Structure 1
Amino acid sequence: MKSSCVLLTALVALAAYYVYIPLPSSVSDPWKLRLLDAAFRSAQQVSNLIHYLGLSHHLLVLNFIIDSLGKKSAWSSAQVKVTDTDFDGVEVRVFEGSPKPEEPLKRSVLYIHGGGWALASAKTKNYDELCTTLAEELNAVIVSIEYRLVPKVYFPEQIHDVVRATKYFLQPEVLHKYSVDPGRIGISGDSAGGNLAAALSQQLNQDTNLKNKVKVQALIYPVLQALDFNTPSYQQNANTPILPRYVMVKYWVDYFKGNYDFVQEMIVNNHTSLDVEEAAALRAHLNWTSLLPASIKKNYKPVVQTTGNARIIQKIPQLLDVRSAPLIADQEVLRGLPKTYILTCEHDVVRDDGIMYAKRLEKAGVEVTLDHFESCFHGCVIFASWPTYFSVGIQTQNSYIKWLNQNL
């Protein structure tokens, strides 16, 4: 009996040690966040072990675990009709709000889910519920794009998918089929989906053959660049859930089918050192010392290596492609982009990507709303229902939907 108690105490202590990580006092629901992070880390470690054993790719395993926790069928309700179909060969899930006699034509949002270009789905419970809420609250048609994922395809195939599906939807006959007002269409996405949404908006803006232009873009904690992994938010939140810096850099490398041997060098910015000529012209577009306010910069210092590893850019030139990093687009590309909403979270490595993009868009004459949440963390918008309910999930969702309702 005594030995059993000792063993139980040891196991509890070990579990507590695994779950506990130090968090800033301002973060919302810290113990819930620790438990969620521990569950996600466990799933990642199992996936990495299976990958190491050569049984399957770690991202396929991790996505299988995520899907096992909840994929929803296309179930319709009295308020929202849900349909699975395809737009020009790209799978989509369409959520249609109930028609209103006084509004024969509805608003619409093309939504692109997050997940590091490799995880989740339009059919995952969290995204299905978010899009259902959008369709109901906005009385809108929400098109959730099921783009193909790493490791089945790599950059730029994900962008090709969202561009193809969007252009198909923007055809007059398709808009008529769904009773959508061609002047009230928005593009939105979170995290890696925010990256794809920003790249999509830039491409559509430059397409002179496109008759129907989108009215707004709404980017939720978007991932917008891979040149500087030492912005203040990357330094401040290097080990913060749900997205530590090391994991974010690995997502980038996976997206480009790169070599994991480069990850540690990229973390210290060896890929954009002063001796890497290809990166020199782009540094001004993400010079955070001039783009970020003092309250964000704090006492952090830029990390610019004099000598680095030019082989990284040679082997992964996609790092400097504006389609992968919308933040580094030329000012001419940003002019004429639609009215923009950007949601950022204090406890998030990519916080500064969104803040810098907002500043660059403003300089280009774009009307921007920057919605910053001091107590929030990466991913919070989709954590608004059991078993991953966070109060900030509801708070950020409400703010996001309110902006869409007022501007779309």
Structure 2
Amino acid sequence: MICSEVTNLSFFFPPKCHLIHYLRLSHHLIVLNYLICTFDKLKSVSSEPINITDVVFDGVEVRVFEPPAKQDEPLKRSVVYIHGGGWALASARTSLYNNLCRIMAESLNAVVVSIEYRLVPEVCFPEQFHDALRATKHFLQPDVLAEYSVDPNRIAISGDSAGGNLAAAVCQQLSKDELLIVRPKLQALIYPVLQAFDFNTPSYQQNMNMPVLPRYVMINYWIDYFNGNYDLAHSLLINNHTALDVHQALTFRGRLNWTSLLPSSFKKNYKPVVQTTGNAEIIQEIPALLDVRAVPLLAENETLQLQPKTYILTCENDVLRDDGVMYAKRLENAGVEVTLDHFDDCFHGCMIFTIWPTDFSAGVQTRNSYIKWLDENL
């Protein structure tokens, strides 16, 4: 379906999903998400009575987690959270994210707003970005913050994977909004996906066949997000879309040079894959491949200088490792205070796998480190 390096999708997409897709009965992502939600078991892992409400912020559904109010308590801090799932899967209401946000609300004594943005294939880029931005800007209004007893000076925006992508993009957009009264104090990105410019960074090469997110699956997610054609997948895989003769990409090449942005421990012995001759029609067909609202790592330095104090969590066994490490370096070069929290023995998506039967120690370890940083800095 996507390239010759891996042809068996059964470990990620159940065969029945693909059969339904090929018979044109439905999109395989709709079927897969239905299965995820159907078999999801909502288990509470929090002992505290957290108040959970589903509301709408400027046309976007959100789930709000509120710790119980205490007498004479000062205003609470808050986290706006955007869930992952390749812009196509999962929900703020599934147990994985419901419990993560519930634990955050309890551990931080914070109001957590989890954004239920619309998913692929119902909508594609830039609608997910617009949903996340609208909901966040609505929450940042002083009267809304007052309604939830939130301190306007202690708000973080956060997300994991594709949610980390949206969080970074929204944070960049907010930083350029001169009319905004309240701005996030922090951003916290969990193994974020930040670029579609180079699918041959060392981490993409090292982890190309690594579950839970092999390289071809990540390329698939990008194609679905942009409503593109799967026939372009192999060209993306070998970086034909950003070859030296693709003039649209020249402006961005210097912003994503992993040979200078990555430490030697990550570069190892891997070599850059830069095509001399490529296919400029790919960018013409999918211009969003170079749109900073979709690929925040390509933002100009002037935008990066405006970003708040930042936390980025990366995992060694993850194709997206270098996305996060490069963004941390670019932010640091722009003068932003950055904490890069790298885990050598962890994998993509691990932080939400903390409930039996997927109660991995890696999930608890990364989640505790993330919450600890928020507690100390928010």
Fold-level similarity (TM above 0.5): yes
Deviation of residue 280 (structure 1)? 1.1
Query: How many residues are treated as equivalent by the alignment?
Result: 371
Question: Shift of the alpha carbon at 1:111?
Answer: 0.2
Moved more, 216-225 or 61-70: 61-70
TM-score by length of 2: 0.95
Q: Is the 8 A contact 1:97 1:141 kept in 2?
A: yes
- Residue 73 of structure 1 contacts residue 123 of structure 1 at CA under 8 Å; is this kept in 2? no
In structure 2, the residue matched to 1:147 is 117
1:129 to 99, 105, 111: 99
Residue 381 of structure 1 aligns with an amino acid whose one-letter code is M
CA distance in 2, matches of 1:120, 1:296: 31
Higher Cα Rg: structure 1 or 2?
Answer: 1
Alignment-derived partner of residue 352 in structure 2:
382
Question: Residues of 2 paired with 1:364 and 1:86: CA distance?
Answer: 36
Q: How many angstroms apart in 2 are the aligned matches of 1:324 and 1:133?
A: 29
Matched, 1:290 2:260: yes
Name whichever of 320-329 and 384-393 sits farther off.
Answer: 384-393
Q: Contact conserved, 2:46 with 2:99, CA < 8 A, in 1?
A: no
Segments ≥4 residues shifted beyond 2 Å: 42-46, 71-79, 98-104
Residue 63 (structure 2) pairs with residue 96 (structure 1): no
RMSD of the TM alignment (CA)? 1.7
CA distance in 1, matches of 2:348, 2:38: 22
Distance 1:95 1:76 in 2: 12
The Cα offsets for residues 140-167 of structure 1, whole Å up to 9 and x where unpaired, read as 0000000000000010000110111111
Change (3 A) 1:208 1:42: closer
In 1: Cα distance, 2:151 partner to 2:27 partner: 43
Aligned to 1:105: 75
Residue 188 of structure 1 is matched in structure 2 by: 158
Q: Write the mapping of 1:279-318 to structure 2, written as runs, cut at 5 A.
A: 279-318=249-288
**Greater helix share, 1 or 2?**
1
Q: Does 1:54 align with 2:27?
A: no
Report how far residue 236 of structure 1 moved.
Answer: 0.1
Equivalent position amino acid for 2:156 in 1: G
TM-score calculated relative to the size of structure 1: 0.88
Over the matched positions of the two proteins, sequence identity in percent amounts to 68
Residue 160 in 1 paired to residue 130 in 2?
A: yes
Relative to structure 2, which stretch is displaced further, 61-70 or 114-123? 61-70
CA deviation profile, 1:178-204 (whole Å, cap 9, x unmatched): 100000000000000000000000000
CA distance in 1, matches of 2:288, 2:363: 33
Take 1:310 and 1:223, find their aligned partners in 2: how far apart are those partners? 23
Quote the Cα distance in structure 1 between the aligned partners of 2:80 and 2:157.
5
Q: CA separation in 2, counterparts of 1:168 and 1:160?
A: 12
1:321 matched to 2:291? The reply is yes
Cα distance in 2 for partners of 1:52, 1:379 equals 28
Q: Secondary structure at the match of 2:254?
A: helix
Q: Which residue of 2 aligns with 1:64?
A: 34
Partner in structure 1 of residue 167 of structure 2: 197
SS in 1 for 2:255: helix
Q: Which amino acid aligns with 1:305?
A: Q
Q: What is residue 52 of structure 2 aligned with on the other side?
A: 82
Which consecutive unaligned segments of at least 5 residues does structure 1 have? 1-37
Q: Which runs of 5+ in 2 are unaligned?
A: 1-7
Question: 1:209 is matched by which residue type in structure 2?
Answer: L
Residue 4 of structure 2 corresponds to none
Quick one: which amino acid aligns to residue 70 of structure 1?
Answer: D
Q: How far apart are the structure 2 equivalents of 1:43 and 1:304? A: 31
Q: In 1, Cα distance between the equivalents of 2:233 and 2:112? A: 37
